[in-house]
Amino acid sequence: MNSWIGQPTNKLIMSWGPPARTADDGAGGQVLIYAHHVYAPQVNYNYWDYKMMYAHKDGIIYYWHISREPISPTQVVVSFR
């Protein structure tokens, strides 16, 4: 993940595809939110794995965050740096 620091978001999107959602980073940039739903009822797993890539307003990635949440991408809260 550290290899993405300093890279443009368009390069990330070409590699990973479009994000599930984007959000404001609180400083004029954006957060690209990538989500993977894990559902396995036989072992009672139902959660989302998130990779959040923070980019300055010029589109350069400056921070990333990984989390696991029980809520969908439309409901996940983005923390501001």
Across residues 68-79, what is the average pLDDT? 86
pTM of the complete model beyond 0.75: yes
Across residues 66-71, what is the average pLDDT? 92
CA dist 22 and 28 (Å) reads 13
Residue ranges and CATH numbers for the domains of the chain are 2-69 (3.30.1450)
CA dist 40 and 45 (Å) reads 5
pLDDT tens digits, one per residue of 24-50: 998 999 999 999 999 988 888 899 999
Nearest to 79 by CA among 57, 60, 54, 62: 54
